[in-house]
């Protein structure tokens, strides 16, 4: 009895303590985000009105995937922060709200309407069958008067037309109602998906010396976001500056949209370890597992479509989530065309789960996502009026072909599997911070901040980035610099001439590894890529073919000769290369050809003439560096002789 009284006393004391702390629900907004190459730091803020005393601040509806260890919060004036706790908010409430009940009621009404229409169609079909079965006139072997035949024909024609027209109207109405039901199911699915989302919560216990009106600011890191550098190289004419437009493709699938937020782009990579690696003793004769790179594998993308398994029609707004070990790591919803994109996604092996009201839920197991690749996984759902919690399980089928040759239909080695466990990360980049003379920059009101280890671009214009894994393009700045334009021709392999823009000391431009789009004279000429790790001091950008500069290569018959010397042939070959500049400005052009190179003592090559050219004796490469005035034409001649045994057959063109 004494023990019971003691326990009741403790419970009463606990209730008294919990009741002494008021719970204040805090609504927050996102004013700005810092997007890293992999991941993002989200800043949130709220206006607080806190009475004097001890209070629990409850901040809900935060992204499920936020990193609790990354939470940073400012101090609230005249308040002491006693504790900060992170927890997940699981919404498994099966009680239907007013909106759900209303939508379900509308669906039931329309389903009843469908039954009524089908009944009417059935009655018309029965009547039509009766008419057709009784369309014969008179007795067998006897004719019918013409008047009776005419009257019967008029009756059948009119009535059958009425029946079939009525059926057509009913079937059209049936199709419209089915479309309306599909829209209602889509809306119901969005309601249920939003209702059952899992969120993060922050529980902050504060004690205030007096009533406080203040602003609460805090931030946290999420891995489900990132950005990729993209560049536009634009050239109007070879006598005008080269324009470089810096762009960023920003993406996120955090589970919440970033609406009208200020964006800061950073080249740092928080998902990489900042610790110096430590060497361990190396004992000869022992077996060691291969050391794993401290550079995390590249971020990956999961894409696909959601389709009706029977009609093959796309299903919009399907809830698609990615799980590993029973834990949700990412999620999204299919768009109006049934397409979904989850980006970024750490490399690994996942289960893809899809749910939609009116369809049987499905789980595709064993989806392998490799570093820096796009994996495709289509989902086919079966219509079914079954328990929403029972799932069809399907094995992942590797697609035969993947976009941009990034095939994922291959065997996974044990070494690859070990690497798949890492978090997603992009390429390593090094931002240089030098000055370049004669460079003009239009920052489009954006600003650049340099730190010791990375660059940051502050975008002044607010942007909206939806949580759909799609790329949202942000223009960062535009740089103009004098272009060093050089034409290149290899007439032995190609009759066209290629224009390139050469950028010396390109590191001063702070270019990162990324894709480039090339525009010449306002026309898109192709795509390329920049490798920021290349050792060359000069960056060469191909601008495509220019048909205003002509090149041709023909054999020089005057130099051609073939003789027999003992047991050998000696053959002399000569070539004329004609280059003409049809542009209205002076150009630089590099023309390349080659001498043959012998690897046998019995074959002797003599390089005879190549006036004005540089010759690589080892490879036989011939290079002319020319300047041509408008309308100027030059003929480049070179020749060589080859002595070889009669028993050999050589092609010397």
pLDDT digits (tens, 9 = 90+) for 472-529: 999 999 999 988 899 999 999 999 999 999 888 888 888 888 899 999 888 898 888 8
Task: Count Cβ atoms within 10 A of the Cβ of residue 6 and give its class: 0-12 exposed, 13-18 middle, 19 or more buried.
Answer: exposed
Query: Do the Cβ atoms of 303 and 340 come closer than 8 Å?
Result: yes
Beta bridge partners of residue 306, listed in sequence order:
379
Handedness of CA 78, 57, 28, 328 (dihedral sign): positive
- What spatial distance separates the first Cα and last Cα of the chain, rounded to whole Å? 111
Per residue in 17-67, pLDDT (tens digit) is: 444 588 999 999 999 999 999 899 999 999 999 999 999 999 999 998 899
| Rounded Cα distance, 586 and 392, in Å | 69
pLDDT at 408: 38
- Structure tokens of 487? 């034409």
SS (H, E, C) 479-507: EEECCEEEEEECCCCCCCCEEEEEEECHH
Architecture of domain 300-419: Sandwich (2.60)
Query: Do the Cβ atoms of 320 and 362 come closer than 8 Å?
Result: no
| Rounded Cα distance, 626 and 640, in Å | 22
- Structure tokens of 234? 């634009």
pLDDT at 462: 95
Residues in the chain: 653
Q: β-strand 472-481 against 484-489: which pairing, if any?
A: unpaired
DSSP state of 238: T
CA 621 to chain CA mean position, Å: 42
Task: Count Cβ atoms within 10 A of the Cβ of residue 192 and give its class: 0-12 exposed, 13-18 middle, 19 or more buried.
Answer: buried
Q: Where do the structural domains in the chain lie, given as residue ranges? A: 2-94+198-221, 98-195, 228-262+427-477, 300-419, 549-645
> Which residues of the chain register pLDDT less than 70?
1-20, 92-94, 135-147, 271-275, 284-299, 385-453, 534-535
| Rounded Cα distance, 138 and 141, in Å | 8
| Rounded Cα distance, 209 and 206, in Å | 10
SS (H, E, C) 42-100: EEEEEEEEECCEEEEEEEEEECCCEEEEEEEECCCCCEEEEEEEEEEECCCCCCCCHHH
Handedness of CA 407, 411, 414, 417 (dihedral sign): positive
| Rounded Cα distance, 247 and 471, in Å | 11
R_g of the chain, CA atoms, integer Å: 37
Architecture of domain 549-645: Sandwich (2.60)
Give the list of residues 6+ apart from residue 614 with CB closer than 8 angstroms, or none: 622, 623, 624, 625
Q: At what angle do helices 146-195 and 98-133 cross, to 10 degrees?
A: 160
Beta bridge partners of residue 73, listed in sequence order:
218
Give the list of residues 6+ apart from residue 210 with CB closer than 8 angstroms, or none: 52, 78
| Rounded Cα distance, 185 and 521, in Å | 51
| Rounded Cα distance, 401 and 410, in Å | 11
Quote the strand ranges of 358-454, DSSP E: 362-369, 374-376, 379-381, 392-395, 440-442, 447-450
Query: Do the Cβ atoms of 643 and 602 come closer than 8 Å?
Result: no
Residue 411 half-sphere exposure, CB side, CA atoms within 13 Å?
3
pLDDT at 333: 84
Helix (H) or strand (E) holding 3, with range, is helix 2-19
pLDDT at 290: 53
pLDDT at 350: 94
| Rounded Cα distance, 327 and 6, in Å | 41
| Rounded Cα distance, 384 and 593, in Å | 69
Per residue in 351-374, pLDDT (tens digit) is: 999 988 888 999 999 999 988 888
> Among all chains, which residue has been given the structure tokens 């950005």?
227
Give the list of residues 6+ apart from residue 18 with CB closer than 8 angstroms, or none: none
Write the Ramachandran bin of 358: left for phi over 0, alpha for psi from -120 to 50, otherwise beta. left
pLDDT at 144: 62
pLDDT at 274: 60
Helix (H) or strand (E) holding 427, with range, is none
Query: Do the Cβ atoms of 513 and 429 come closer than 8 Å?
Result: yes
Q: What CA–CA distances, in Å, run from 9 to 1, 21, 325, 382?
A: 12, 19, 43, 57
Per-residue exposure over 364-384, b if at least 16 CB sit within 10 Å of its own CB, e if not: beebbbbbebbbbbebbbeee
């Amino acid at each position: 009895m004494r023990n019971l009284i003691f326990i009741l006393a403790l419970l009463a004391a606990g209730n008294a303590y919990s009741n002494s702390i008021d719970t204040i629900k805090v609504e927050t907004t996102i004013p700005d985000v810092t997007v890293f190459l992999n991941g993002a730091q989200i800043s949130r803020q709220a206006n607080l009105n806190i009475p004097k005393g001890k209070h629990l601040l409850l901040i809900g509806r935060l992204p499920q995937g936020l990193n609790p260890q990354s939470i940073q919060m400012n101090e609230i004036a005249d308040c002491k922060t006693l504790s900060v706790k992170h927890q997940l908010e699981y919404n498994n409430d099966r009680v239907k709200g007013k909106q759900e009940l209303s939508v379900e009621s509308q669906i039931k009404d329309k389903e009843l309407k469908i039954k009524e229409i089908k009944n009417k169609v059935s009655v018309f079909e029965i009547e039509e069958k009766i008419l057709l079965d009784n369309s014969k006139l008179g007795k067998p072997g006897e004719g019918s008067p013409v008047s009776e035949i005419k009257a019967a024909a008029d009756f059948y024609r009119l009535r059958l037309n009425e029946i079939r027209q009525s059926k057509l109207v009913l079937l059209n109405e049936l199709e419209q109602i089915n479309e309306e039901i599909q829209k209602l199911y889509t809306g119901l699915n969005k309601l249920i998906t939003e209702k059952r989302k899992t969120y993060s919560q922050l529980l902050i216990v504060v004690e205030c010396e007096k009533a406080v009106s203040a602003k609460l600011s805090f931030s946290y890191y999420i891995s489900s976001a990132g950005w990729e550098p993209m560049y536009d190289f634009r050239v109007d004419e070879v006598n005008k500056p080269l324009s470089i437009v810096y762009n960023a493709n920003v993406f996120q699938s955090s589970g919440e949209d970033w609406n009208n937020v200020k964006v800061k782009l950073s080249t740092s990579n928080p998902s990489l370890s900042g610790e110096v690696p430590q060497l361990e003793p190396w004992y000869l004769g022992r077996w060691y597992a291969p050391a794993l790179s401290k550079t995390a594998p590249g971020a990956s993308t999961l894409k696909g479509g959601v389709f009706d398994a029977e009609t093959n029609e796309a299903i919009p707004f399907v809830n698609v989530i990615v799980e590993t070990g029973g834990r949700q790591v990412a999620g999204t919803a299919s768009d109006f065309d049934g397409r979904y994109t989850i980006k970024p996604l750490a490399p690994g092996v996942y289960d893809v789960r899809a749910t939609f009201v009116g369809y049987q839920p499905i789980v595709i197991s064993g989806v392998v996502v490799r570093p820096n690749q796009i994996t495709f996984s289509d989902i086919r759902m079966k219509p079914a009026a079954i328990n929403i919690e029972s799932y069809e399980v399907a094995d992942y089928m590797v697609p035969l072909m993947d976009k941009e040759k990034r095939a994922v239909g291959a065997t996974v080695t044990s070494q690859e599997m070990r690497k798949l466990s890492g978090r997603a990360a992009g390429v390593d980049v090094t931002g240089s911070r030098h000055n370049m003379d004669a460079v003009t920059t239009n920052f489009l009101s954006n600003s650049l901040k340099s730190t010791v280890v990375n660059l940051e671009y502050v975008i002044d214009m607010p942007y909206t980035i939806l949580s759909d894994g799609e790329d949202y393009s942000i223009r960062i700045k535009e740089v103009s610099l004098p272009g060093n334009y050089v034409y290149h021709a290899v007439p032995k392999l190609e009759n066209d001439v290629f224009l390139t823009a050469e950028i010396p000391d390109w590191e001063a431009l702070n270019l990162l590894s990324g894709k480039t789009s090339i525009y010449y004279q306002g026309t898109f000429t192709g795509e390329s890529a920049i490798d920021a790790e290349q050792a060359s001091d000069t960056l060469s950008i191909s601008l495509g073919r220019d048909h205003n500069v002509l090149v041709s290569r023909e054999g020089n018959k005057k130099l051609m000769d073939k003789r027999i010397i003992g047991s050998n042939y000696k053959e002399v070959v000569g070539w004329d290369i004609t280059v003409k500049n049809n542009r209205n400005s002076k150009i630089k052009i590099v023309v390349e050809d080659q001498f043959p190179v012998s690897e046998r003592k019995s074959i002797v090559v003599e390089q005879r003439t190549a006036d004005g050219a540089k010759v690589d004796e080892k490879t036989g490469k011939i290079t002319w560096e020319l300047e041509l005035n408008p309308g100027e034409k030059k003929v480049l001649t070179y020749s060589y002789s080859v002595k070889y045994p009669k028993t050999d057959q050589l092609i010397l063109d």
